[in-house]
Amino acid sequence: MARHAVMTRQVCTLVPYEPRQKPNLLVSAEFVWHEEGILELSYGLRSRGEAGLNDIQMPATAVSPQRCDELWSNTCFEAFLAHPGQENYWELNVAPSGNWNLYSLENYRNGLKPELGVLLPTISIHGGPKDFRCDVLLNLQPWLPSISCPEFSLAAVIKHADASYSYWAIRHTGQGPDFHDRRSFIQP
């Protein structure tokens, strides 16, 4: 079986906006962009505490995952993609339930609307009491046609059992958790 050529691969630990907030939780993300315009994402949660992942509110797995709005109001994994030098960008949200959405934005937090040209992503969920993994395979064609890797940022919103939130990203660059801040995007 022929494998796709990988053009960019980034594996990283996501850090919470408030580092001391959840010391027993590790959050990781992997970004793999293929030259054919295929994007692979993988998000992982691991608990080092005795309670395992019981501190996290995880939506039940959807029988038939679908496109949904406001996934960020619960535990959600996010990816942001942009062409270098352009103001517009895209936001992908994937919930542990398997529900998802992809939005386009005209510029910083402005003009949010569902990206209609997207094909249904493949989402697989795996988990146990102390570990959880969400893998996403997304075809970027035709809505992000390019032969070069986009700028990107990976993030997670974690809703805890006490209804508090923690915000995780590759890096935080502003006065608050702001995943839309282009200064936090990686430029391959």
Tell me the per-residue pLDDT of 62-92, one tens digit each, with 9 for 90 and over. 888 899 999 999 999 999 999 988 999 999 9
Tell me the per-residue pLDDT of 144-174, one tens digit each, with 9 for 90 and over. 877 688 999 999 999 999 999 999 999 999 8
- CATH code: domain of residue 46: 2.60.40.1190
Please report whether residue 137 resides in a domain: yes
Please report whether residue 182 resides in a domain: no
Please report whether residue 188 resides in a domain: no
Please report whether residue 31 resides in a domain: yes
Please report whether residue 78 resides in a domain: yes
Range of the domain at 110: 7-173
Residue bearing the bigger pLDDT, 24 or 77: 77
Q: How far apart are CA 91 and CA 78, in angstroms?
A: 7
Q: Is 82 within 8 Å of 88 (Cβ atoms)?
A: yes
Please report whether residue 185 resides in a domain: no
pTM as predicted: 0.93
Backbone angles phi, psi at 55, to 5 degrees: -75, -10
